[in-house]
């Protein structure tokens, strides 16, 4: 499994003084290989989430291509892309991402249910257990705290065993203990199962778990460092 | 089941939202079903009236009230009693262009012990009669014997029961099919029975004779030979027989169908108004709901749902709402239409005959289908707009 | 537990409509000469049944312990209410009369609704027990 981003950029229209558009992400190229935890840091507004969305198939870049094992993500039609995302990619978005009418367990099983795949009930239960929210499996999201909802979203992404896991500020709502719990879970997942974990964060805690760190500013990657193993 | 379960869960676990949407479609379904059922009933009432009035011209005494009371008898089932000399029948047959003529004699009962209201008794000549007799024949295979009566379907008497009219014991031998007209509240007997009843009435002090000793009748139903102009025959009848008015049945039917058209129009306008209103409200409601749920839909896209899947889910959810609302609306309308059919008929003062069960079921199914379609349609725009947005953008906006 | 009170409230409302209706807007035929036919007595019987139903509903509302039994005893009362007009007590002999046109269908609907309430109450209370 290898992800290649080839000169991807995202432009938005905006009436400003000079040009009537601006770049949220300026052309950037990246390569991520299996078994890595990649951490993307940077100030808010630096384009981190936009880059994550483009890499995870949620937002078409204005220019450039995203290739997963040679498949051009945005060359696929919506149906094929959705199916591919459901099979290969898990995303933990910012903010609330629970379906209110479903219980925690139903939320976690939802991605598989959409495509009538065998339900990963065992994996789901294990992840809920590991993330410390197993007792809440039959609760409705309205009864959960922000941190519990966040861990539910993480369990949902992990339970599908995606080859690529994207997490946008996954530890924002979490205390130190849970932050460590989540990040070590990410690291184990990437290393033991040879998967890719891509984390966007502005917290330094995450750096300790990273195999590669990118820093963004003003829509550009300004520095990158690989941990030497 | 798996794909189906999310819309279903959305409905059952948000009962407030579901019931508001269902209630809106229920109003629609109610208006359509009740309105159409009433219009259909009026239509079949009209054709039933045409069948029972199966004469071209009807002769009634030329007293001022007789024509009006004859019409009311037919349309509303009020009692009427007016008389002319029985010779009018023979005279009518003498007129050129008359093919058939049959007499009828009317008598309004006093409040009988059974009924506590006046009942219209209609004497017919089974040999000659060509309007009422075929209808009676459908429920009674033999002829009406002496002191036998056949009762309209709205007279609550069972076959074999004895009812008293002017102290005379009459045996109910048949209960007739519904016609939706005033004929349903009348009691029918042959001319001999009628004469016995007339005499009994006389003893009670109810006078009907024109001059003592005469045999009397109330109306003569005339069928005009093919090829003859009905108006011409009617005016010849008017000229030939004294103190008689020839009423063209066509004019009575036209009067009824005019009122029917009026009611039809009102109902149609009403249905259209309810529709327009409910459709607009539904459109707004779905637009609001979709906006409120933008983040929910974005999450579904996030976890792998394609545009098509999302659109289908939204449509399925609203269609289910429509189904629920349609069933509730039709059910509520049925609960009013069927038990209170008589009340509706009396209020409309027009012939009113409910279509048979099969047609009503068809109408009900059609109405439910329509509600489903309308609910789905009104969420279509919302569903379409929803599917145009990138999940990434929607997730950010929904934050 | 709140759910179990709802049928009682609806039943109480229905019984009020029945009792008041039987004497006013759902009354049987009124004859010009002031005489009263059988339908008058049917109306009186319906009022009585309505009162009984009201008392049952009030008990169900106030005495929690009595609820299962009270809901069950509502069933025969409602059945009687459905059967009274036309079946147990005669009405006028013409469908166009007020007692057949208004009172009977309305009362049958009202008592049927009350019957459903009693049934729902019985089921709800039974379910809570087990």
Q: Which residue of A has its CA nearest to B10?
A: A101
Q: Are residues B287 and B376 in the same domain?
A: yes
Contact A96 B295 (CB under 8 A): yes
Collapsing DSSP states into helix, strand and coil, what is residue A190? helix
pLDDT at residue number B397: 62
Chain B residues lying within 8 Å of C95, measured CB to CB: 153-156, 184-185, 342
Number of C-alpha atoms within 13 angstroms, CB side, residue C81? 31
For testing contact with chain C, the best of B120, B342, B345 (most C CBs within 10 A):
B342
Contact C109 B335 (CB under 8 A): yes
Chain B residues lying within 8 Å of A114, measured CB to CB: 3, 300, 303-305, 309
Pairing of strands B148-151, B168-175: parallel
Contact B116/C at CB under 8 A: yes
- For residue B33, being part of any structural domain is answered with yes
- For residue B124, being part of any structural domain is answered with yes
Give the separation between CA B235 and CA B224, rounded to whole angstroms: 12
Q: What is the pLDDT of residues C8-49, one digit of tens each?
A: 999 999 999 999 999 999 988 876 666 667 788 899 999 999
In sequence order, what DSSP letters do the residues of B329-357 get, joined into one string? Answer: HHHHHHHHHTTTHHHHHHHHTS---PPPH
- The structure tokens 């007789």 sit at B66
- For residue B369, being part of any structural domain is answered with yes
Contact B3 A114 (CB under 8 A): yes
pLDDT at residue number B2: 44
Q: Which residue of A has its CA nearest to B293?
A: A99
- For residue B54, being part of any structural domain is answered with no
pLDDT at residue number B3: 45
Give the separation between CA C78 and CA C61, rounded to whole angstroms: 18
Distance from CA of A30 to the nearest CA of B (A): 20
Contact A33/B at CB under 8 A: no
Query: What are the angstrom distances between the C-alpha of B209 and each of B133, B160, B202, B214, C32?
Result: 26, 32, 9, 7, 28
pLDDT at residue number C1: 56
Give the separation between CA C86 and CA A56, rounded to whole angstroms: 73
Contact B304 A95 (CB under 8 A): no
| Helices B15-52 + B357-387 axis angle, to 10 | 140
Which residues pair with residue A215 across a beta bridge? A41, A223
Q: Are residues B207 and B328 in the same domain?
A: no
Domain CATH for A110: 3.40.50.300
What burial class does residue A131 get, using C-beta atoms within 10 Å of its C-beta: 0-12 exposed, 13-18 middle, 19+ buried? buried
For testing contact with chain B, the best of C42, C91, C93, C110 (most B CBs within 10 A):
C93
pLDDT at residue number A39: 93
Q: Which residue of B has its CA nearest to C98?
A: B343
Q: Is there an interface between C and B (3+ Cβ pairs < 8 A)? A: yes
- For residue B14, being part of any structural domain is answered with yes
Q: Are residues B80 and B226 in the same domain?
A: yes
Give the separation between CA B169 and CA B185, rounded to whole angstroms: 19
Q: What is the pLDDT of residues C66-114, one digit of tens each?
A: 888 999 999 999 999 999 998 998 888 888 888 899 999 999 999 999 9
Which of B194, B210, B242 represents a domain boundary (last residue)?
Answer: B242
- For residue B160, being part of any structural domain is answered with yes
Q: Is there an interface between C and A (3+ Cβ pairs < 8 A)? A: no
Domain count, chain B: 2
- Residues (pLDDT < 70) of chain A are 15-19, 227-229
Distance from CA of B340 to the nearest CA of C (A): 7
Chain A residues lying within 8 Å of B392, measured CB to CB: 50, 53-54, 58-59
Q: Which residue of C has its CA nearest to B337?
A: C105
Give the separation between CA B30 and CA B331, rounded to whole angstroms: 8
Average pLDDT by consecutive 10-residue portion of chain B (399 residues)? 65 85 90 91 88 87 78 80 88 91 88 64 91 90 90 89 86 91 90 89 74 76 92 91 88 84 88 86 85 83 87 88 94 94 88 91 95 88 76 67
Chain A residues lying within 8 Å of B295, measured CB to CB: 95-97
pLDDT at residue number B66: 74
Contact B301 A58 (CB under 8 A): yes
In sequence order, what DSSP letters do the residues of A195-216 get, joined into one string? Answer: -EEEEE-S-GGGGGG-SEEEEE
Among residues A154, A169, A166, the alpha carbon closest in space to that of A57 is found at A166
Which chains are adjacent to chain B, needing at least 3 Cβ pairs under 8 Å?
A, C
- For residue B252, being part of any structural domain is answered with no
Q: Are C104 and C86 in contact (CB under 8 A)?
A: yes
pLDDT at residue number A227: 62
Distance from CA of A18 to the nearest CA of B (A): 25
Contact B254/C at CB under 8 A: no
Which chains are adjacent to chain C, needing at least 3 Cβ pairs under 8 Å?
B
Contact A82 B399 (CB under 8 A): no
pLDDT at residue number A214: 92
Range of the domain at A101: 2-226
Contact B115/C at CB under 8 A: yes
Within 279-298 of B, beta carbons closer than 8 Å to C belong to none
pLDDT at residue number C83: 95
pLDDT at residue number A156: 94
The interface predicted TM-score (ipTM) is 0.88
Range of the domain at B373: 2-47+260-397
pLDDT at residue number C129: 63
For testing contact with chain B, the best of C91, C95, C111 (most B CBs within 10 A):
C95
Give the separation between CA B106 and CA A18, rounded to whole angstroms: 99
Chain B residues lying within 8 Å of A85, measured CB to CB: 304
Q: Are residues B35 and B82 in the same domain?
A: no
Write out the two tokens for C65.
Answer: 């312990």
Contact B398 A83 (CB under 8 A): no
Chain B residues lying within 8 Å of A143, measured CB to CB: none
Pairing of strands A212-217, A37-42: parallel
Chain B residues lying within 8 Å of C96, measured CB to CB: 77, 154, 185, 342, 346
Q: Are residues B266 and B376 in the same domain?
A: yes
For testing contact with chain C, the best of B109, B339, B352 (most C CBs within 10 A):
B339
Contact A141/B at CB under 8 A: no
pTM confidence score: 0.81
Cβ-Cβ contacts under 8 Å for A124 (sequence gap 6 or more): A105, A108, A109, A155, A159
- For residue B227, being part of any structural domain is answered with yes
Contact B153 C109 (CB under 8 A): no
Q: Are residues B83 and B189 in the same domain?
A: yes
For testing contact with chain B, the best of A24, A66, A82, A104 (most B CBs within 10 A):
A82
Q: How many CB pairs under 8 A join B and C?
A: 52
Contact B305 A106 (CB under 8 A): no
Phi and psi of B206, rounded to 5°? -95, 110
Domain count, chain A: 1
Q: Are residues B148 and B124 in the same domain?
A: yes
């Amino acid at each position: 499994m290898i992800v290649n981003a080839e000169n991807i950029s995202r432009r938005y229209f905006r009436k400003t003084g000079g040009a009537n558009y601006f770049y949220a992400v300026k052309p950037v190229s990246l390569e991520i290989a299996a078994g890595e935890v990649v951490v993307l840091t940077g100030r808010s507004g630096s384009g981190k989430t936009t880059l994550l969305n483009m890499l995870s198939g949620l937002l078409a870049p204005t220019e450039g291509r995203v290739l997963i094992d040679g498949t051009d993500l945005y060359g696929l039609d919506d149906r094929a892309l959705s199916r591919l995302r459901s099979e290969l990619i898990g995303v933990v978005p910012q903010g609330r991402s629970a379906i209110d009418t479903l219980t925690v367990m139903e939320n976690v099983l939802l991605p598989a249910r959409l495509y009538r795949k065998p339900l990963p009930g065992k994996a789901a239960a294990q992840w809920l257990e590991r993330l410390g929210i197993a007792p809440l499996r039959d609760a409705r999201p309205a009864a959960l705290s922000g941190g519990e909802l966040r861990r539910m979203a993480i369990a949902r992404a992990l339970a599908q065993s995606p080859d690529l896991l994207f997490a946008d500020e996954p530890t924002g709502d979490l205390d130190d203990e849970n932050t460590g719990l989540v990040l070590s879970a990410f690291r184990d997942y990437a290393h033991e199962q040879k998967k890719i974990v891509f984390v966007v964060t502005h917290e330094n805690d995450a750096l300790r778990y990273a195999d590669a760190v990118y820093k963004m500013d003003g829509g550009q990657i300004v520095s990158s460092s690989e941990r030497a193993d | 089941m798996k794909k189906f379960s999310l819309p279903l869960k959305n409905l059952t676990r948000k009962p407030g939202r579901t019931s508001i949407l269902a209630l809106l479609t229920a109003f629609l379904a109610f208006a359509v079903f009740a309105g159409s059922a009433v219009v259909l009933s009026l239509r079949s009432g009209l054709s039933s009236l045409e069948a029972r009035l199966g004469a071209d011209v009807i002769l009634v005494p030329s007293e001022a009230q007789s024509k009006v009371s004859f019409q009311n008898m037919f349309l509303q089932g009020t009692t009427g009693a007016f008389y002319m000399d029985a010779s009018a029948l023979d005279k009518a047959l003498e007129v050129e262009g008359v093919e058939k003529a049959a007499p009828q004699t009317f008598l309004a009962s006093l409040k009988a012990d059974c009924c506590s209201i006046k009942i219209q008794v209609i004497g017919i000549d089974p040999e000659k009669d060509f309007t009422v007799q075929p209808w009676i024949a459908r429920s009674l295979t033999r002829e009406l014997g002496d002191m036998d009566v056949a009762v309209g379907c709205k007279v609550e008497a069972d076959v074999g029961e004895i009812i008293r009219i002017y102290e005379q014991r009459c045996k109910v031998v048949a209960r007739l099919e519904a016609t939706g007209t005033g004929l349903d509240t009348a009691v029918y007997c042959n001319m001999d029975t009628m004469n016995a009843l007339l005499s009994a009435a006389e003893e009670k002090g109810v006078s009907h004779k024109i001059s003592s000793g005469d045999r009397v009748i109330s109306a003569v139903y005339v069928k005009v030979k093919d090829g003859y102009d009905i108006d011409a025959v009617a005016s010849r009848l008017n000229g030939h027989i004294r103190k008689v008015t020839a009423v063209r049945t066509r004019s009575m039917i036209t009067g009824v169908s005019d009122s029917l058209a009026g009611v039809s129009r009102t109902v149609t306008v009403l249905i259209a108004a309810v529709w327009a209103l409910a459709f607009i409200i539904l459109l707004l409601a779905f637009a609001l709901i979709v906006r409120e749920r933008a983040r929910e839909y974005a999450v579904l896209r996030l976890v792998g749902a394609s545009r098509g899947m999302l659109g289908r889910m939204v449509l399925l959810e609203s269609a289910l709402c429509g189904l629920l609302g349609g069933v509730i609306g039709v059910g509520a309308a049925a609960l009013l239409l069927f038990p209170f059919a008589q009340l509706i008929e009396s209020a409309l003062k027009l012939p009113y005959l409910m279509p048979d069960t099969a047609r009503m079921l068809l109408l009900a199914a059609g109405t439910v289908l329509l509600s489903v379609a309308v609910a789905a349609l009104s969420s279509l725009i919302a569903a379409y707009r929803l599917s145009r947005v990138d999940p990434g953008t929607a997730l950010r906006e929904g934050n | 537990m709140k759910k179990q009170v709802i049928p009682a409230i609806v039943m109480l409302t229905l019984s009020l409509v029945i009792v008041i209706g039987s004497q006013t807007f759902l009354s049987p035929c009124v004859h010009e000469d002031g005489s009263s036919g059988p339908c008058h007595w049917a109306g009186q019987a319906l009022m009585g049944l309505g009162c009984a139903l009201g008392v049952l509903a009030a008990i169900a509302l106030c005495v929690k312990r009595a609820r299962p039994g009270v809901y069950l005893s509502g069933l025969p009362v409602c059945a009687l209410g459905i059967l009274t007009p036309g079946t147990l007590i005669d009405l006028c002999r013409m469908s166009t009369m007020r007692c057949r046109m208004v009172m009977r269908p309305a009362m049958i609907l009202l008592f049927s609704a009350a019957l459903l309430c009693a049934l729902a109450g019985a089921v709800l209370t039974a379910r809570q027990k087990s």
